[in-house]
Amino acid sequence: MNDEIKKKMRSIPGMDILLAQDWSLPWQEELGRETVKRHFNADLTQIRRKLLEGEIEDVSMDALRLLLEKNLELERRFRLRPVINATGVVIHTNLGRSLLAEEALVAVMRVGSSYNTLEYDLEAGARGQRNSHVEGALCALTGAEAALVVNNNAGAVLLCLSALAQGTEVVVSRGELVEIGGSFRVPDIMKFSGAELVEVGTTNRTHLRDYSEGITERASMLLKVHPSNFRMEGFTAAPEREELAALAHERGLIFMEDAGSGLLIEGQLLGLSGETDVRTCLEAGADVVTFSGDKMLGGPQLGIIVGKKRVIDRLKRHQVLRALRVDKMTLAAFEATLRLYAKGDYDKIPTLAMLRRSSEDMKVQARRLASKLRTVTSASITVLEVEDAVGGGSSPALPLPGFGVAVSSHPAGGAGTLQAFFRSLDLPLICGARENSLVLHVRTLSRADEAAICNAFELLEQEKPEKEAPGHV
Ligand SMILES: *Cc1c(COP(=O)(O)O)cnc(C)c1O
């Protein structure tokens, strides 16, 4: 190392000096001294390397402060934090699926900040059941005899197969051996539960006689799985639920359905004609039905199991249940959400409200957003019709027409550049692109989001996105 470089290295202030700077004290207060130290260490290592490699000449305290604070600014951000969803995908699994209703959030605050009745029976003055808070409402809404909730629907299916079919055969159509979200695969979960999969029929057509012939004396269950994220068209066939239920019961088997999304109201009320609600599945003869709490139901993440009392009782006694039990905050949010269903207040449930939005309403919003944007950007702004989606592996083929705002010819760059810039913000804006235009779908946007989007465009005007990424002096 030559003397010149040695001198430069010595000119970089040491950790103690940095930690004692007036500007660094509030950061230590906010993030903790050790966190700040860890950041400074990492940043200083980089700067020393750059000095050695001649990438930078020297470092003034001002330049150093700028860099260190920029990275602390990023550290200040919560990793799990809100984003604006301008994709038009209502149940976006990567963006947290369903938003909770106001009433559900209030219930979470109330229960989370206080001791509560989670497992306490006030009448008996003794230990109670956490499941009891929502069982009655679930039965009333679905017509089931009994109900149980677990961590998520994957857990619900696992519990059912483990408790009801371990060591026996489960008959499933080849057309329903689905994979959902890359991690839930029917054959894998079956293996894990200790049940044995018997595939019947073909990919596109499975007849009642296929099921019938697939049932051996080792079978205990006939399982129907909602093919949530794809739809088969053309030469297809599957027996009616009633036929499957009758066959299962005639041969002494349980008829289970994994309904996936789980509609608590008739699909028509949401404009989703192809979807079967949970009550209808039970009325058709299913002994047990499982579904998610945070898909089309619009509640917290949950796996819900409803069905015959004698079947649900077996689940309640199973050891696996202990590993899948749900938290008090989830139960609080869910009880509040179910109350909204009981009252028919569907538009207070954000997922339902967004699915039910009228074309006129979205057109008005798109026009309003467009005219707001024209005041903050020189880009070309147009209102257009778009294709939205239910998402969350629900109703894949359902056309969900919506409205959007396209942004093109922005001086800062093409759609990819803008998307990256908007993702880098404190409140990131997530949106799609079409032919180098940014497209903002309004179905999933609130009024507050509109203001935040304008704000994001203002930031874009001030700060060129090509600007160097943080970490370079
Ligand atoms: C989404 C889905 C699951 C998984 O549900 P999670 O609540 O995400 O665990 C299982 N089965 C079907 C049919 C689904 O659509």
- The list of the chain residues with pLDDT below 70 reads 1, 182, 393-397, 464-473
| Statement to judge: residues 330 and 234 lie in one domain | yes
What are the φ and ψ backbone dihedral angles of 257, each rounded to 5 degrees? -130, 130
Plot region of 268 (φ>0 → left; ψ -120 to 50 → alpha; else → beta): alpha
Closest residue to atom 7 of ligand 1, CA basis: 153
Classify burial at 190, counting beta carbons within 10 Å of its beta carbon; exposed 0-12, middle 13-18, buried 19 or more.
Answer: buried
Measured in degrees and rounded to the nearest 5, phi and psi for residue 222 equal: -115, 125
CA distance 178 to 170: 15
What's the Cα-to-Cα distance from 70 to each of 9, 39, 254, 306, 471, rounded to whole Å?
Answer: 22, 11, 60, 52, 8
Phi-psi sector, 110: left (phi>0), alpha (psi -120 to 50), beta: alpha
Q: Which of 272, 211, 219, 276 is nearest to 244 (CA)?
A: 211
- Distance from residue 261's CA to the centre of ligand 1 (Å): 7
Question: Do residues 468 and 55 make contact, with C-beta atoms less than 8 angstroms apart?
Answer: no
- Answer with the one of 321, 348, 375 that is the final residue of a domain: 348
Ligand 1 and 393: CB distance under 6 A: yes
Pocket probe mutation, ligand 1, options 161, 176, 184, 228, max atoms within 8 Å of Cβ = 184
User: Any idea what the CATH number is for the domain that residue 304 is in?
Assistant: 3.40.640.10
Q: Is 282 in the pocket of ligand 1 (CB under 6 A)?
A: no
Asked if the structure places residue 165 within a domain, the reply is yes
253 and 295 in a common domain: yes
Are 266 and 306 part of one and the same domain?
yes
H or E element in which residue 305 lies: strand 303-307
Name the residue with the closest Cα to ligand 1, atom 6. 153
Indicate whether 188 and 313 sit together in one domain. yes
Nearest to 337 by CA among 412, 424, 262, 413: 262
Domain boundary among 348, 382, 417: 348
Among 348, 378, 410, the domain boundary falls at 348
* C-alpha 383 – ligand 1 centre gap (Å): 35
Tokens read off for 197: 């999969």
Ligand 1 atom closest to Cα of 259? 13
303: Cβ below 6 Å to ligand 1? yes
What pLDDT sits at residue 12? 87
Does residue 405 sit in helix, strand or coil? strand
Q: Computed from CA positions of residues 215, 218, 224, 227, in that sequence, does the dihedral angle turn out positive or negative? A: negative
Looking at the structure, tell me whether residues 430 and 401 fall in a common domain.
Answer: yes
DSSP states of 206-253: --HHHHHHH--TTEEEEEEE--TT----SS-B---HHHHHHHHHHTT-
Alpha-carbon Rg of the chain, whole angstroms? 28
**What's the total number of domains in the chain?**
3
In a domain, 468, yes or no: no
Domain assignment present for residue 175? The answer is yes
Instruction: Examine the domain organization and report whether 321 and 243 are in the same domain.
Output: yes
Is the domain of 127 the same as that of 250?
yes
The verdict on residue 467 lying in a domain is: no
Q: What is the pLDDT of residue 7?
A: 81
Beta-carbon contacts of residue 265 (< 8 Å; ≥ 6 apart): 277, 341, 346, 352
CA 167/CA 373 separation, integer angstroms: 61
Same domain for 273 and 299?
yes
**Rounded distance from Cα 294 to ligand 1 centre (Å):** 10
Pairing of strands 400-408, 169-173: unpaired
Q: Sign of torsion, CA 298 300 303 304? A: negative
CA–centroid distance, 153 to ligand 1, in Å, is: 5
Quick one: which of 460, 446, 465 has its CA closest to 83? 446
Parallel/antiparallel/unpaired status of strands 303-307 and 288-292? antiparallel
**Closest atom of ligand 1 relative to the 93 alpha carbon:** 8
> Is the domain of 326 the same as that of 425?
no
Domain that holds residue 305: 102-348
The CATH number covering residue 418 comes to 3.90.1150.180
Strand order in the sheet with 400-408: 84-86, 429-434, 437-441, 400-408, 380-391, 89-91
371 and 341 share one domain: no
Q: Are residues 394 and 281 in the same domain?
A: no
Do 18 and 72 lie in a common domain?
Answer: yes
* Rounded-to-integer distance, Cα 174 and Cα 276, Å: 21
**pLDDT tens digits along 34-48:** 999 999 999 999 999
